[in-house]
Structure 1
Amino acid sequence: MRNSIYLVVIPVVVGLLGLAPWMFGILNPDRQLQFTLTGLVDVSPLTALRLDVENHGKYPEKNVHIILDSKVWIPPSERAIEDQITVQTKIPFTAKRDGDRLLVLLGDLRPKESVSVGIASPHISVSAYDAVRAPLGIAVKSDESVAEYESRAGFLTKYSFGIGSFLSLCLMLFGIVGITRMFAQLHKAKAPMPNDFVKNSSQRDEISDK
């Protein structure tokens, strides 16, 4: 019975160990630039938003910049950019026009480094986004990467299948161990005890002598 338990448990344990590099790669990727829209206030005639940008990867992201295209940024004229938009952040930045787009240049982000950027203007209109979809017309890029949009429930949404599979394997392992232990106990309960065996043998010998 013990050997049968090992035959069931060992392959499951090996399978769980095989998932470990995959889980580690998810939690610690080489490159993963992400941004989140964490605040949006629309008080006519001003619209203000806040973007959090974070480098979750192992390597620096160079020349990180926020892009607001014509779906979001609608400037009235060719006036100076300072007269049309207000940007607040704790790091040095440059805001400039690039055709019909607005660029906010943030410089480099080191691994695990993040920055929050507040943008306010009467010429911004944000729409078509929810807890999963990125805001239409807003993007974040670097020289190496295009940032992924991460919602507040983004980790569970993105990796729900992998997390569910891992938990299912763990539950299956515990279930198999519990079932095999139950059968082992039943088998042990049905097995004759040594004293009973000796007693039964003695009774058979007495009957034979008679």
Structure 2
Amino acid sequence: MTDLVFYTHPMSRGRIVRWMLEEVGEPYRTEVLGYGASMKAADYRAINPMGKVPAIVHGDTVVTECAAICAYLADAFPEAGLAPPPGSAARGPYYRWLFFAAGPVESAVLNKALGVEVPPERKATVGYGSMNEVLDALEGAVTGREYLAGGAFSAADLYLGSHLAWGMQFGTLEKRPAFETYVGRFRQRPAAQRANAIDDELLKNAGGA
């Protein structure tokens, strides 16, 4: 038995959390939910009222939202070394880029996918300004350094790297050499490969549904 339970679907943002869990290396139980009835069922809505995955339950603690789950796991299991120590200088850029990916990057990518155009005179009213500004900021963050914070791989690299990889694969983010170099650095991590293999197998067994 384990007190760490992971709720997911193999074709969801849960793939990010799966990678994080594999990096952490602690035992966990996976509960796969289908889109529709099982995600909207009352027992799962008691965990996440939004009826969406991913979510984790760790003992009596419930955490939803990918970036929050990654940040929580990094702090809950510090021996995995997935976050700079609290109070260190690296903690600032760690939080900065983890939540930049969760906020401006996600918002800009979603609006682009939906065909939402922000009029130039209204840029100040959206958190990301424009897609080009987001991409330029990201390019500056990953150029000339191996990792985002503290000279070591962290949950911020995992989260941002996942978004960049997904966006470039499906054409929602521009392929820039700096992004491809940054993402390529993490593809061969054993935890990333294990996580992908687990979710790919779940997806195959589910018939892609």
Using the size of structure 1 for normalisation, the TM-score is 0.23
Higher helix proportion (structure 1 or 2): 2
Using the size of structure 2 for normalisation, the TM-score is 0.23
Higher strand proportion (structure 1 or 2): 1
Q: Which has the larger radius of gyration?
A: 1
